[in-house]
Amino acid sequence: MDRREINLISPINQLGYGVAGLNILKSLSNLADVSLWTIGNPDAPPEDHPVLRQSLQNALRPSFTAPCIRIWHQHDMGQFVGRGEKIGFPIFELDTFTDVEHHHLSSLDRIFVCSEWAKDVCLNNNLKNKIDVIPLGVDQNIFKPKESSEEATIFFNCGKWEVRKGHDVLVSAFNKAFSEEDNVELWMMCSNPFYSPEENKEWENLYKNSKLGQRIKIIPRQESQQEVYNVMGQAHCGIFPSRAEGWNLELLEMMACGKTVIATNYSAHTEFCTPKNCLLVDLENSETAYDGKWFKGQGSWGKIDQKSVDVFADHMSSVHHLRKTGKLSPNEEGVETARNFSWNNTAKEIINVIST
């Protein structure tokens, strides 16, 4: 059977879309001949240079009748290669699209989304395209179960500083859960490359100047997925008080590491979070998505009120108690979940869909 030909447009870097694009490229290249056009300059680890070079070489003589997948923002879906099926793969967080976003999405032959939650958003916004759920994955070669040898109970959050990710309330939950006598630490790896140094420092100060600031560690942005894993492996629990997520890869990666995880029961990560693999915090209401920086009132996201903060604090306290008493077990359900959400499965789903 002849290999499929696929045209792929994506960033290739260490940011969200770039990580997804690189991993999809690598897995798809095992199943199809992929021609790649990068959005921005590619930035990949040396071990991935061969597949990157080959796919860029393929783009010199692509099939102009092959389907073209664009992994990018929903407001910028105008540029595709060839005359094959135009497939947009946006990773969005809110429940409503702007007129521009709706206009761009409506132009596509097919839309790939990460989760059933995202598919429902598309349907509720009257998009008439073919819509397929293509869950993202986790790199099983890097993110593996690992026990921490740290003496303190380490809580970990990863994801660029944002109100959307609940960074404005996580510090309150941590300070509520513990006192200065508790042997706990909160590690924040949240540097935002789209902020100025002053803005990043303001977020850091919110944590370092809080009651338990001496127990909070600000970790610089890591240069590779392996370096991210090296940090995650030292933690005991991942905590993600997100108001909205397009996928939440770091949460899935923590599961793959066998770590206990705490997260909101809302938006895209409900595709892989269950009561068996995650300590969930239900959000009873939604609110207008506004942070004064990136979100200006378009659509809604989950509302984190004081009750939600209290539940996060209670979960953190329980995790610490279990660890102190030697009863904090590896998150076996999370590890099994991560095995089911591999990048190879992502690529297979793409091939299955475009073959029908």
Q: Kindly report, residue by residue over 87-96, the tens digit of the pLDDT.
A: 999 999 999 9
Q: How confident is the model over 238-246, as a mean pLDDT?
A: 98
Contact at 8 Å (CB) between 32 and 352? no
Residue 354: pLDDT above 60?
A: yes
Tokens of 163: 């109100």
Res 171: pLDDT: 98
Res 1: pLDDT: 47
Residue 175: pLDDT above 60?
A: yes
Give the domains, in start order, of the chain with CATH numbers. 4-137+342-354 (3.40.50.2000), 153-339 (3.40.50.2000)
Contact at 8 Å (CB) between 125 and 117? no
Distance of CA 217 to the CA centre of its chain: 22
Residue 66: pLDDT above 70?
A: yes
Q: How confident is the model over 204-211, as a mean pLDDT?
A: 97
Question: Which pLDDT band, with edges at 50, 70 and 90, does 223 fall under?
Answer: confident
Sequence-ordered list of residues with C-beta below 8 angstroms from that of 193, at least 6 positions apart, any chain: 15, 160, 221
Res 356: pLDDT: 77
Residue 135: pLDDT above 90?
A: yes
Question: Which pLDDT band, with edges at 50, 70 and 90, does 158 fall under?
Answer: very high
Name the average pLDDT for the chain.
Answer: 96
Question: Which pLDDT band, with edges at 50, 70 and 90, does 63 fall under?
Answer: very high
User: Angle at CA 312, nearest 5°, toward 142 and 304?
Assistant: 105
What is the rounded CA–CA span in Å between residue 292 and residue 193?
18
What is the rounded CA–CA span in Å between residue 297 and residue 295?
6
Residue 281: pLDDT above 70?
A: yes
What is the rounded CA–CA span in Å between residue 287 and residue 281?
16
Q: Bridge partners of 187?
A: 156, 217
Provide the 3-class DSSP secondary structure of residue 6.
strand
Return the number of other C-beta atoms located less than 10 Å from residue 141's C-beta: 10
Return the number of other C-beta atoms located less than 10 Å from residue 53's C-beta: 12
